[in-house]
Every structure is written in C-alpha cells, then in structure tokens.
Structure 1
Amino acid sequence: MSTNQFGVVSIVGVGLIGASLGLALKGAGVVREVIGVGRSSANLDQAKKMGAIDRVADLAEAVQSSQWIVLCVPVAQMRAIFTQLEPHLGSNTLITDAGSTKSDVILAAKEVLGKKVCQFVPAHPIAGGAQHGAAAARADLFQGKQTIICQFQENSAADVALVEEFWKVLGSNTKRISAVQHDAIYAAVSHLPHILSYALMASVLNSEDAEQKLGHAGAGFRDFTRIAASSPEMWRDICIANKQAILKELDQYLSVTGRLREMIAKEDAAGLEKVFQKASQARQKWDAS
C-alpha cells in the first residue's frame, strides 16, 4: 500500500460514515490527503481534530483537487451535489457514494452528469450506528462489513474494479447487485426496521404515561429502539427515495401484525405459538450462519 494508491480523496458529508471513511483511509496509509466538504463548520472542525480529514474546502476546490470523491450526504442531497460538482469534474476523477438507496441516486447522476456519469460507481457500505456526526466515527467501522456495488451500463469494468478495491482496502467485503434489487432488499432488512423503531418510540411518547413506561423499559425495548437514535434527516430522505419498496414491505408487515392481533383477540394460543416458533427458528438459523 502507498499514499499514491488513491491520491487525494474528498469526502462530501463528514458525519459518522464520512469521518469513519477518512479515519480508515488514513489508517491504511493509502491516501496523500483527505479533504472534507460539509455544511457544519463545527462538525468539520471535529473531523479535522480527530484526524479524519486533513483540511476543509468548498466543493468546487475539492473536486478539482481530487482523484476520488465519496458522497456521504443524505440521498435527497445527491442531485444538488452532482449539479454543483459537474462543471469542475475532470475526466480522471472517480465518484462513489455511501447512500442507502440506489435507483434514485443513479437517476439523478444520469440526468445531471450526462456523459460524465460513467465516472460514478454507486456503492452502499452496510455499516453505521445509532449515533451520527463525526464525533461517533470509528476507523474500524467498515471492517468485515459488506459493501454493495450497484454498477450500471455506463460504468467501465476497470472503474468498477477500482471502486471495489477502494472499499476492500477499508476492510469491506464487496458484492455486486442491481440497483433495483438493492432497493427491494434493503427496504425489508434495513429501511423497515428503522421505521418500526421510530414508530415504537413515537407510540410510547404519545402515551399519557410515557415517562413511566420509559422508566421501566428493559433490554428488549432498548435493543429494539436503538436505531431510533439515528439521523432523522437521513431516514426521512430514505423513506421518500425508496417509497414504493418501503410501502410494499410495510403493507406486508401490517398484514402480519393484523393476523397476530386477531389471534391475540381470539386467544389463539396455538396459532401464536406456530408463528413465533417459525420466526424463532429462522432467527436462530440466520444468526448461526
């Protein structure tokens, strides 16, 4: 590994993912410089103090100075970022991202970047945490985690391989799937769980005895609602961006809970146990895999 492997990398959005990315890149010794771009001067200062970035720049300067650009902003901001960076994007600069939805981001890139869209190779590291902001960053955040690569027709095989290597250097295991498949899968296993976690917190908070309920909550409630501490802005954008897939999963979940409600109302102990047994066995099998 050498500092010339990836040269100068600009990270746009230096929160948990972006700052962790900077720490991992610098820890691996594969960059000459990491530039931070963002809206919050306090967060950027924190990232610089931690050593996640070397300096702060505006987007135009960062794009002109970099061989790599990594977009770690909420997905609703991607189109505006593409619009701002396009005039400054040289032919030898690669772009990747860490967005939790892919079809909408690819569409925005194609509409804004035009012929330069081939330089954007979409990615989604399946890593994160309940806390957000640079202060929560960890250099090992991507170690052993999966990063999904959603290349599209305009990408060259060589550029896709380079982006795969970029994420592998951070400790990720990469896997290629289509953007449509990605959005359908993660609506079920990521987006829906976050919505349910937020919903449970909101339900308890809406109770007249919310304070007492929270005061008596144990490990189960704490585990289930841990991800409700995640960035509200990010998850708001994900819900809108992946609306159709999320609504399909939410409707299916409501159907299951509706059947469970009916079983409870009828005191159908055998029916409840059958559903719980099937779910419990599947969870244990998945956990052991």
Structure 2
Amino acid sequence: MFKRICIIGVGLIGGSIARSARQQGLCNNIVGYGRKQDEKNLQAAKRLGVIDDYTLELAEAVQGTDCVVIATPVASIESIFSQLKPLWSDDAIYTDVGSTKGSVIAAAERVFGRVPDNLVPAHPIAGAEQSGVIASVGDLFVNKRLIITPVGNTQPEAVQKIQGFWEGLGSLVSVMEVQHHDSVLAATSHLPHILAFALVDMLGHKDEQSEIFQYAASGFKDFTRIASSDPTMWQDICTANKDEIIPLIEQLKDELDKIQCLLENDDSQQLFATFTYARNARQRFLDQFNTN
C-alpha cells in the first residue's frame, strides 16, 4: 500500500503500527524518527526489526516517504508540524494517532494557516499501560476501533487510503466530525482515566494507605488499572480536551452528590434503582457490542 512509511515517535502505538504494517505487507520500508534522547528506544526498534532504520534528522526521515505517521503525545504535535512545514510534500499522506482531534486541527491551522488537504487526522482506540517500543505488538489494533476525523478540504483519496491502511491493520474504522470525536472520547476514555487517577491519588494519601492497598480486591485492581497509564501522556490529553472534560466532571459531581444525599437520607429504594439502572445500561452496552 505504501512504499516507505516514516513513523515519528516509535513507542507503543508507533511501534505497533510498524509491526503490524510489516506483518500485513502494507509497506516496503519503515523508517523511525525521534530526538537524541529517544535514540536508545530507536536502536531497540531497529534491533527488534520493528523498523528498517532510524534517523535523528527529520529531513532525512521524510525523504522519499509516501506516508508520515505522527505518533507523539498530542502536546508535541504543533512542534512536529512546525518542523515538517518546510519539508511538507504533496506526494505524501500525513496522519496522526492523537487522542484529541480538535487540538490537532488547531495546531495545523496555527502552523500552516489552514489544515493541509493531505493531512488525515486519526485516532486508534487501543493501547496499554506500558510504553516504549518494547511494549509494541503486532495485533494491538485487531478488532479495535479507529476514528478518522477529516475536515472539509481533506482529500477523499487520502481518507480512503488511510482507512484502507488501518483496516489492513485489523481496525474497525469509523469517520466522525472532530468535535463529536472529542466529546465522545471525553466521556468514554478521558473521564474514566481521571476517575482512576483521582481515586488512587486520594487513597494513596491516606495514612492507612498500606492497609488499604493490602486488602484491595480484584474489583479495585480492575477499576484502577488505567491509573498505571503514562502520566505525561494523560496530562497532555486532558489539557488538550479540557473543554469537553470539565462539563462531564461537573455532571459527575452532581451524580455523586445525589448518591451522597440518598445515603444520608437512607433512601435505599432510590439507591437500588440508581445501581440497577447503571447495571442494566452497562449490560446493554455489552450486548450491543459483544464485549466483555
């Protein structure tokens, strides 16, 4: 599908894209790019056969490529765009994997004055708590959702090719408006991560923390698993999408206040109704999407 792919940021996601693209025969050559401080990770990527080669020079990395994948934290994408601007090629397709899309679009507009028509923003809804190329796997995107968020001037051919690429990696591809994507992901991904971080932060500061964690059952481990995620990455994501997240936090505070009031008033009937509605709503989700 592509002759030469440049992956900017060969970590968990970038490395998994490279592994899968190679396994599925979607490209002939893969080059990785990173900063000097990333060189050990890039060396590992080459040693493991994840990429064919790497360079610390962006101009060298993108030379002759027909696809450039930006797989860096969302906070760094504007800087990447600025570095790419003098090197931008009409003969290549550019895409990203950022968890927020409004910030990517805004960064492109600030750097280029508009969104380049060969930039196809995308977001694979897949990941793990580990980071770095060592954590990358070839089947990370199989049966996982991938959202493409083109804008008005995005080339239909570029969208089609990126869609085909991700489908080749095993993803279930949807096309969505930018704002709708950020709203949906704020509710289904960003807020849950904040909840997990907040709960563990609260319990971790309690005097009896050792005893609390000593007696934590599997439910606690399951609920707080995502609090093991990369703090830097999630700081970036939450900051970039705060306009969507803050109203959800307000709604959640109202919901907690309601439950507190039910407990204070010994309203067990309404408390049961609230828990039952939540359980049934989750079961509808499981049934609809055949998940566990």
> Aligning the two structures, in what range does the TM-score lie when normalised by the shorter sequence?
over 0.9
3-state DSSP class of the match of 1:128?
coil
Output one character per residue of 1:51-88: Cα deviation in whole Å (capped at 9) or x when no partner: 21111112221122311111111111000000001111
Hey, what's the Cα distance between the residues in 2 that align with 1:60 and 1:153? 29
Q: Note the 1:45-124 alignment, pairs <5 A.
A: 45-57=43-55, 58-114=57-113, 117-124=116-123
**Displacement, 1:256?**
0.4
* Structure 2 residue corresponding to 1:29, chosen from 25, 28, 33: 25
1:175 aligns with 2:174: yes
**Displacement, 1:114?**
4.1
Alignment check: 8 A CA contact 2:108 2:114 kept: no
Amino acid at match of 1:206: H
Equivalent residue number for residue 42 of structure 2: 44
Amino acid at match of 1:265: E
3-state DSSP class of the match of 1:91?
coil
Amino acid at match of 1:29: G
1:18 aligns with 2:14: yes
3-state DSSP class of the match of 1:65?
coil
Equivalent residue number for residue 201 of structure 2: 202
Hey, what's the Cα distance between the residues in 1 that align with 2:249 and 2:258? 14
Alignment check: 8 A CA contact 1:64 1:89 kept: no
Hey, what's the Cα distance between the residues in 1 that align with 2:115 and 2:103? 17
Hey, what's the Cα distance between the residues in 2 that align with 1:106 and 1:284? 35
Amino acid at match of 2:59: A
Hey, what's the Cα distance between the residues in 1 that align with 2:63 and 2:109? 21
Output one character per residue of 1:192-218: Cα deviation in whole Å (capped at 9) or x when no partner: 001111111101111101111111111
Amino acid at match of 2:173: T
Amino acid at match of 1:236: Q
Hey, what's the Cα distance between the residues in 2 that align with 1:116 and 1:103? 12
**Displacement, 1:252?**
0.7
Hey, what's the Cα distance between the residues in 2 that align with 1:113 and 1:170? 30
Alignment check: 8 A CA contact 1:8 1:65 kept: yes
Output one character per residue of 1:145-194: Cα deviation in whole Å (capped at 9) or x when no partner: 11101000121111111111111110111111100000011100000001
Equivalent residue number for residue 277 of structure 1: 276
Cα RMSD between the aligned structures? 1.2
**Displacement, 1:115?**
6.3
Amino acid at match of 1:121: V
3-state DSSP class of the match of 2:266?
coil
Equivalent residue number for residue 232 of structure 2: 233
**Displacement, 1:49?**
2.4
**Displacement, 1:131?**
1.5
Amino acid at match of 1:275: T
Alignment check: 8 A CA contact 1:9 1:33 kept: yes
Amino acid at match of 2:151: F
- Name the TM-score, length of structure 1 as normaliser: 0.96
Structure 1: any 5+ residue segments left out of the alignment? Answer: none
Amino acid at match of 2:28: R
Amino acid at match of 2:265: K
Paired positions, count: 285
Hey, what's the Cα distance between the residues in 2 that align with 1:154 and 1:64? 25
Amino acid at match of 1:283: R
Alignment check: 8 A CA contact 2:10 2:71 kept: yes
Hey, what's the Cα distance between the residues in 2 that align with 1:33 and 1:93? 14
Alignment check: 8 A CA contact 1:24 1:139 kept: yes
1:163 aligns with 2:162: yes
Hey, what's the Cα distance between the residues in 2 that align with 1:184 and 1:238? 13
Hey, what's the Cα distance between the residues in 1 that align with 2:217 and 2:48? 34
Equivalent residue number for residue 135 of structure 1: 134
Hey, what's the Cα distance between the residues in 2 that align with 1:63 and 1:229? 34
Amino acid at match of 2:182: D
Equivalent residue number for residue 218 of structure 1: 217
